[in-house]
Chain A
Amino acid sequence: MLQFLFRRLLVAIPTMFIVVTLAFFMMRAAPGSPFVNERRLSPEVERNVMAKYGMDKPLVVQYATYVGGVLRGDLGPSLKYKDKSVLKIISEGFPHSLFIGGMAMTLAALVGVTLGVVGALRQNRPADYTAMGVAVLGVCIPTFVTAPLLVLLFASTLGILPTAGWPAATQPLSSAWRYFVMPVVVLSLPQIAIISRLTRAGMIEVLRSNYVRTARAKGLPEHSVVLRHALRGAILPLVSYLGPATAGVITGSLVVEQIFQLPGIGRAFVSSALQRDYTVVMGVVILYAGLILFLNLVADILYAALDPRVRLS
């Protein structure tokens, strides 16, 4: 196990290095520049600004400086939000995205697996069609439609949930939770759909397998067969899906953050990419790549824990 972790870590280092390198040069190859306002100023002012951010040096030198900074844990200053550093932007935004995304994935896993199991057990019967119908609807209707609909219903008409925003730090949890309900539900709907389809497919296959037949033949009660034996095998494909999916959801969604005015990094990422805030884009890319590597590792370990045939070696 330790050896496995060590080997994976060794592979992760060159992977991260390649990601950083590619992202760095792709970003620079994109047209435009972050120092837009300075460009029309006198040449000596422009020189000063470029020198301040080290952008007067050759690209290769800048790259080396940047990688050096990353190794020391310094992601540089934001080129657009003049008062903030990249680390500050990420450390302010990421916890919000992580929280909302984490809740959404948890909800999606609970509801999705339940729907999937119900669907598989009641295959081609009304319960199955209902569960899968709901799931397909969830993936078909885009979040920019579900979000305003929910706002209209629960905030504007019924008045039981806030329209948008993030609770103040001083807000007690007893009322703060209301802010999270709609973003979490909206983010989880498409995930519920995918998770329930994956679970249903896996479950149908496993229910026909020999070991489930054996379990039934032993006379185990049905809930024990389903929950302890079949489900464990059925969610294997789900585990490999959840790794990268979680990384995507917890790094924030532009649409959901925009509509619910959430202070996450999804919005910061898109806007900084559009306006060539190189350092912020690089920072988020590194975070995203790191999360994918980490969550894939977690998925592999879970795999081994769930499936006795898999050995981590």
Chain B
Amino acid sequence: MRPWGTWTVAAAALATTALGACDSGSGRAACPAGKLCLERGNVADPLTLDPLKSTTIGEQHILGDMFTALVQYDAKGEPIPGIATAWETSPDGLTWTFHLRESKWSDGAPLTADDFVFAMQRLMDPKFASEYAYILYFVQNAEAVNGGKLPLTAVGVDAPDPRTFRIHLTHPVPYLLRVATHTAMYPIPRHMVEKYGDHWTDPAHWVSNGAYVIKTWVLGDRIHAERNPYFYDAKSVCIDEVNFYPGADAISAERRVRRGEIDYNWDIQSNRISYLRQPGQIPDFVHVRTWLGTVYIPFNPNAVPAFKDIRVRQALTMAIDRDFVAGKLMRGGQLPAYTLVPPGIASYPGSVPPHWAGWSFERRMSEAKRLMAEAGYTPEHPLKFELKMRNTNDPQLIYPAIQADWRSIGAVASLYPEESQIAYADYSARNFQAADVGWIADYNDPLTFLYLMKSTTGPQNYSDYKNPAYDALLDKADHDVDLTERGLDLAKAEHLGMEDATVAPVYFYVSKDLVNPKLTGWQENLPDWHLSRYMCFAGHKPPG
């Protein structure tokens, strides 16, 4: 049986030679000679590439690179002119006029104001069923059109000439420029939609107007995009090709960034942050800062009748050790949340937390126990329900702790992890009892959070909160001319909502970016919005 031994030795020798022979083994995707390629970790595959249907952050990172709206974020996260070079508001604040630059779609077709009008009509089309139509309900007739009560052409936008786009509003919207950065206000290539219908987003014949265009998309693998020669500012763009990789596992993404396989990933597992910041690790890769986002638990009263009882909701909301969750489990600079609106948001006097927020945790726990007992639940006869959660790293860290807090007041929550997109789909369908929600602001204004509890919001009002006083305050704020008064009204509404406790805020997000320092032009910013067109690699510069 000698041959076996010889074979083993030969195979081992061969394997060693082969491995030793490989020059780098870096695992970085092949990049054409002379080109600069950016590898972006993007956490999940997009559910759609249609900006008007888009709902996830991953989609918005991709689409932000592919499209330019009226205004856009600069590298610091502030709105700057995009396709619109100038704009003015009528004295009553109800009409905005945008003057568009001369620009083209990536197939060379001219981009006109009509593409913006078309996009707005499509967004409001009831058959199109966009989840984000509601954020533009302040456009005249938009809500009626979206409800099927008026024809599409009734939407309050028009194009007096190909380079002028006008928006007519139902009430003044001083924060319109911040909303205008959202994907729901992107232009859509009318000529492509008329040709291909809903399939216009197929990468095989992709057309957009931003710095890059999508070339291929393989589910689970990557989205590959290349420079758009027709982009109006193409000369300022340094990087030629961009790959977006899905990959929910933050640890795996971290390894890939460390090895230089990926240049930038917009997620770090929170409990790794202090480790990565140690000298000898990769402290210069880690960028953590406050973000406009809140993690909260909505209770679904239609699935669990006990959640109709305010005592139960308040007890569950009180009995969460937020200092432990934020300070000991997350450890990334996250702040404990007693309100929905995060600190630092624009045009807001600040949140008024519920009355018990200042109590010690011990006092809150004993009060929670009392409330639960009053409602008929004790640790011996607990309230049982299911908490559906995202299966990403951070939720899996914190919910077992919250579960334990709740158990001691007489509530047994079984945890049910699901892939993020599936979890959110379930929440929208009310296919949950209690849920783990992370909400990131759509734009820098408290309304983007407070809207979530308005009774007319629909799918995203996960706990189906309906409080006429809350709704009335939000409606009043919409018509406030004075920004300070508007802020005060919104804060009053938030306080009402927090006392009603149909949602339990847990902590405020921080943005957690892992960025290779070789990548230049990447800047920390409040919206955590980073366009590839501003980035470059050390030692290189854009052609223009």
With A42-B147, A83-B48, A261-B246: A167-B419 Cβ-Cβ less than 8 Å:
no
Would B422 and A271 count as touching, CB distance under 8 A?
yes
Which residues does A use to contact B, with CB under 8 Å?
31-42, 44-45, 48-49, 80-84, 89, 92-93, 96, 114, 118, 121, 151, 155-156, 159-172, 175, 178-179, 222-223, 257-259, 261-264, 267-268, 271, 274-275
Query: What is the bound-complex CA distance between A169 and B29, given in angstroms?
Result: 10
Q: Which chain A residues border B4 with CB–CB below 8 Å?
A: 114, 118
With A160-B25, A261-B245, A271-B419: A170-B426 Cβ-Cβ less than 8 Å:
no
Would A274 and B48 count as touching, CB distance under 8 A?
no
Would B49 and A178 count as touching, CB distance under 8 A?
no
Query: What is the bound-complex CA distance between A264 and B458, given in angstroms?
Result: 35
Q: Is B394 an interface residue (CB 8 A)?
A: no
Query: What is the bound-complex CA distance between A83 and B4, given in angstroms?
Result: 53
Q: Which chain A residues border B419 with CB–CB below 8 Å?
A: 271, 274-275
What 20 additional pairs, Cβ within 8 angstroms, besides A41-B129, A263-B220? Answer: A36-B429, A38-B129, A39-B429, A81-B47, A83-B48, A83-B201, A93-B220, A114-B4, A162-B259, A166-B221, A166-B222, A168-B30, A168-B222, A179-B27, A261-B246, A264-B220, A268-B220, A274-B418, A274-B422, A275-B425
Would B426 and A275 count as touching, CB distance under 8 A?
yes
Would B256 and A165 count as touching, CB distance under 8 A?
yes
Q: Which chain B residues border A31 with CB–CB below 8 Å?
A: 431
Would A45 and B126 count as touching, CB distance under 8 A?
yes
How many B residues, CB 8 Å from partner?
A: 59
With A155-B27, A155-B259, A167-B29: A262-B220 Cβ-Cβ less than 8 Å:
yes
Q: Which chain A residues border B255 with CB–CB below 8 Å?
A: 151, 155-156, 163-164
Interface residues of B in 216-274 (CB under 8 A from A): 216, 218-222, 224, 243, 245-249, 252, 255-256, 258-259, 261
With A82-B53, A121-B1: A37-B425 Cβ-Cβ less than 8 Å:
yes
- Of listed A41, A93, A161, A167, residue having the most chain B CB within 10 A: A41
Q: Is B360 an interface residue (CB 8 A)?
A: no
Would B224 and A83 count as touching, CB distance under 8 A?
no
Is the contact region of chain B dominated by helix, strand, or loop, or is it mixed?
loop
Would B429 and A81 count as touching, CB distance under 8 A?
no
Would B218 and A92 count as touching, CB distance under 8 A?
yes
A260 nearest CB across to chain B (Å): 8
B141 nearest CB across to chain A (Å): 16
With A36-B429, A37-B131, A48-B127: A165-B459 Cβ-Cβ less than 8 Å:
no
Q: Is B26 an interface residue (CB 8 A)?
A: yes
14 pairs, A vs B, C-beta closer than 8 Å: A37-B428, A42-B126, A151-B252, A156-B255, A160-B22, A164-B256, A165-B221, A166-B222, A167-B30, A170-B30, A178-B27, A261-B246, A261-B249, A263-B219
Would A82 and B30 count as touching, CB distance under 8 A?
no
Q: Which chain A residues border B216 with CB–CB below 8 Å?
A: 169
A227 nearest CB across to chain B (Å): 10
Q: Is B539 an interface residue (CB 8 A)?
A: no
The 3 lowest CB-CB distance pairs between A and B, nearest first, are A162-B27, A36-B429, A263-B221
Query: What is the bound-complex CA distance between A175 and B45, given in angstroms?
Result: 26
Q: Which chain A residues border B19 with CB–CB below 8 Å?
A: 160
Would A178 and B22 count as touching, CB distance under 8 A?
yes
Query: What is the bound-complex CA distance between A102 and B432, given in angstroms?
Result: 40
A69 nearest CB across to chain B (Å): 18
With A40-B459, A156-B258: A164-B252 Cβ-Cβ less than 8 Å:
yes
B268 nearest CB across to chain A (Å): 16
Would B247 and A261 count as touching, CB distance under 8 A?
yes
Closest to A174 in B: B22
Would A40 and B247 count as touching, CB distance under 8 A?
no
Would A223 and B219 count as touching, CB distance under 8 A?
no
Query: What is the bound-complex CA distance between A56 and B40, given in angstroms?
Result: 41
Q: Which chain A residues border B305 with CB–CB below 8 Å?
A: none
Which single member of A160, A172, A223 contacts B30 (CB below 8 Å)? A172
Would B261 and A93 count as touching, CB distance under 8 A?
no
Which single member of B3, B148, B219, B418 contacts A81 (CB below 8 Å)? B219
Q: Is B489 an interface residue (CB 8 A)?
A: no
Would B129 and A92 count as touching, CB distance under 8 A?
no
A279 nearest CB across to chain B (Å): 14
Closest to A271 in B: B419
Which single member of A84, A93, A156 contacts B259 (CB below 8 Å)? A156
Would B30 and A258 count as touching, CB distance under 8 A?
no
B159 nearest CB across to chain A (Å): 27
Would B25 and A170 count as touching, CB distance under 8 A?
no
Would A81 and B22 count as touching, CB distance under 8 A?
no
Would B219 and A40 count as touching, CB distance under 8 A?
no
Q: Which chain B residues border A83 with CB–CB below 8 Å?
A: 48-50, 198-199, 201-202
Query: What is the bound-complex CA distance between A37 and B455, given in angstroms?
Result: 16
A140 nearest CB across to chain B (Å): 23
B430 nearest CB across to chain A (Å): 7
